[in-house]
Amino acid sequence: MIMLKGKTAVITGASRGIGRAVALMMAESGADISVIFSGNEAAANEVIESAEKFGVKAKAYQCDVADFSQSKIVCENIFKEFGKVDILINNAGITKDGLLLAMSETDFDSVIDVNLKGAFNFARHLSRYIMKSPAGRIINISSVSGIAGNVGQANYSASKAGLIGLTKTIAKELASRNVTCNAIAPGFIETDMTAALPEAVLEKVQTAIPLKRMGKAEEIASLALFLASDAAAYITGEVIKVDGGMYA
């Protein structure tokens, strides 16, 4: 089993879905965790309580990741509380779907701000601490929509494609400090986001997936755990699809 004992991980959007699965899997592997959430304090506290059962230190921080100044304060508080940061998982994301011709400027901007600028904010503010780690890791949760595009998701696809460019640049800039940066591009994963899709859409999606099912949040978390470990020390600048073969 991969162990992260002695490491400190920061996970944005960690109160539910993929972020929650990543936080708990890292806690189970021995990492102390900082859970970043936007609004659901009860859900964030539940993640903390579950993480503490593994004997690790865990704390929740409410933050609008799109806010540069607020993100800076939260990152500084994390460092004060934990004394170091080894791993950053940029997972926070939202959707505001709509066809290009009908999409409002507000819907476009808000998705870019949270999904892309939020990742920049946390990478920008935490990199100074991560560079002090003997094995720093930054992992960005992108999407296959950022690789292939998706009808009705001009904003979401653009934000996730931007994350890929951000990932590759961070990988090059921080490599000399032994920090790796990789992106995970999930396909359709069973989360609150996909649960809101109409049944007919879900059936069509699963038919298009060679493995004939949607993925589980834990399957994304398993890859994040590997990329955060010493076993992935020579992997950086990569974008790894986890989509059941949909875009193979």
Residues labelled as active-site residues: 156
> From CA 91, how far away is CA 191, in angstroms rounded?
13
Crossing angle for the helix pair 118-130 and 154-174, to the nearest 10 degrees: 20
> From CA 57, how far away is CA 6, in angstroms rounded?
10
> From CA 111, how far away is CA 152, in angstroms rounded?
13
- One-letter amino acid for residue 82 of the chain: F
Q: Which residues have CB under 8 Å from 68's CB, separation 6+?
A: 117, 121, 124
Least Cα distance to 87 among 26, 13, 46 occurs for: 26
Least Cα distance to 24 among 57, 61, 52, 51 occurs for: 51
Strands (E) across the chain are located at 8-12, 32-37, 58-62, 87-90, 137-141, 180-186, 239-242
